[in-house]
Structure 1
Amino acid sequence: MGTERAGNHESRKDEHLALAAEQAREGAPRNDFDELAFVHHALDGGDADDVRLDVRLGELRWPAPLYINGMTGGTATTARVNRQLAIAARETGLPVASGSMSIALDHPQTAHGFRVLREENPDGFVMANLGAGRSPDDALRAVELVDADALQIHVNAVQETVMPEGDRDFSGWARSIERIVAVVPVPVIVKEVGFGLSGRTQRTLTELGVRIADVSGRGGTDFVRIENDRRPLRDYASLVGFGQSAVQSLLDAPAESPLVLLASGGVRSPLDVAKALALGARAVGVAGGFLTAATEGGAPELVPLIERWLEQLRQLCALLGADSPEDLARTDLLVRGRLREDCELLGIDPAAYARRRDARPRTIHEPSGRTR
């Protein structure tokens, strides 16, 4: 990949952005979030003014369980999008991640398309992003390039398989991740790009020293579709929908695992955010859902959209009797349809999620906000 000409790489970046935006404009299809439903307990609600949205992710603390996930960078077009994302992150306090920075390491003249994330958001939480096949030295350079607070390492074997110019050797990725974790001075977040992290993969990441992972599953932007549309014969259509959803990946998480889980992929609304948090995610990333606003209306459109999401999330927590995002993990959830079938095949008891509140003491809220 490092030998690819800059012009070819930049053209691919712009194609990715255009095809991702096209998918986002098609609307939000049904996905596994629709197979989850909260059990409504009509007298369990709290006061939205008492809900605190700040969350802790290991050594990190974020002001809300929401972040702008990595999308793009490296061309004039994508730099304009990153500028709008950075402004929105600055104005709302949300963490923001870059897209893959490989192009900036291989072709330094493209680096400004990523630096803009820090230039427009000097005090915010910015995540660099690099592929699992890169070296520890490359990881250090990526962190330095945007003065990153964390580093996302993406694993995208499915995308690479369909990508016309993609890698085909994934055998060294685990060792590469282990080496990067050992040398990078900021937290490393390993993330999929829309095909899910199975329970087995989550256990492997823990063994490699990873402490935070984004299970990023199917149901949102589909990179098989994007890469297949770039193929002359479009001959990989059979892989559309490959992998696991974020919901299934969260359900498949190993019990008592030290891995802090984030979730993204197919997140269409604050209700989807609440469902992911209820399944144990500490924070939820949105890419495609914010991409349309960033490209069509810029930060003036994206900022109020994010503010509405945060307000709705606060209200949903109150409705569900949760004083914090972490409390959502004790709400009752119904797991339905094909998702339920998948759980049973994986040895997961879906019924256990429907009676979680019965296992905790009941809190009575006084009108004044006091509890007893």
Structure 2
Amino acid sequence: MYSSTPDRLGPRQATHACKLPAKRGAYLTEGFSSTSTFIKTIGVTKAAVIFIDFPDTPATDTVQSLYDNLLPGGAQFFNISSYGQMQLEAVSDMKFHRMPQASTGYRWDRETFSGTSQLRYIKDAIAAAGGGTPYTGCEVLYIIPTRAARSIGFSPTSMGAATLGDGTQVKSVVTFGQDQWSWGYGVLNHETGHTMGLPDLYPMDSAGRPTEYYVGGWDLMGLISGTSPDFFAWHKWKLGWIEDDQVACIGTKGTSSFTISPIERAEGIKAVAVRVSDTKAIVMEVRSKEGLSTDSCTVGLLLYSVDTEAESGTGPVRVLNTKPSSRGCSPSKGGELTSAAYDFAKAETKIGVAANGISVQITGVQNGEYRVSVTWQ
């Protein structure tokens, strides 16, 4: 979840035929752009960390326990997902700072929470921490409350800049809540994903759709507890972890053949994209049980649509449910879409995307790499 944000565009320049442009004026989209105020995703990314407690809920835990719940695992996730290209480092004085108001005074429940109350919370935390710690080079601020502050229930991200006590200006702020104890470090990776330019992939409307409705458990931006939470190849491409020559682009109708390597590996072709319009693409990638996807209950070729006109929370990415009769191999960790990958070993070789006239034939697998023939009629 994220809160208020200025007009921002995606973090990577559009120079590739399938790099669909970002929608101007939107919060967060799946498009590419030449301008960005998102945090960097290559090299060392520094995060300032402020630990806080409150007059009504003084800390009974330790800052080390809070740190251990989020930072080591969160940093390791980014390191693995980026193929070692992103190293997240925390800068903190490792002590609690007392907020000026009671935890209940910040109106943190989902019914009354607002960007205004969040900004007041951020300003109070920065003031409480003071200017004694040098945060030079930090791009994002993490504010982590004591576990005793039960009223700070969830973890929204503010996409606006903030100035820390030493004068360092960060690009965005993640305000963690009690949901970190349910999601673990995954909530750090999800919320930091917003600061890197990624939208929410779960429904954010009043229709009552389940969290896994659009993408199942195939990406952390959709379901933190999913069976295969690594980022989609499209996201890794946006973040610069996948190079342009690792994404094959189909822009004209006909038949083409490719060999696709699992996204959990650094080498090889990571995705094939069919550019069906200036704002839409059908993407295919291979998922395995390697890397961050060890809990996946299905492997193989995964297809999804990308719509750069769709804003965060409205389905900018949708895993294609070409097995509508399946109930999913892990209903509690991604629903019926957990079975969406096509496994060659199970003779699942032919996939049709009727609405776009696209069909895919899996012709073989070697060392986990899928050979596919794609026809666009």
Verify same fold: TM over 0.5: no
Ranked by relative contact order (alpha carbons within 8 Å, sequence separation 6 or more), the top structure is 1
For normalisation by structure 1, the TM-score amounts to 0.26
Which structure: larger Rg?
2
In terms of fraction of residues, the more strand-rich structure is 2
In terms of fraction of residues, the more helix-rich structure is 1
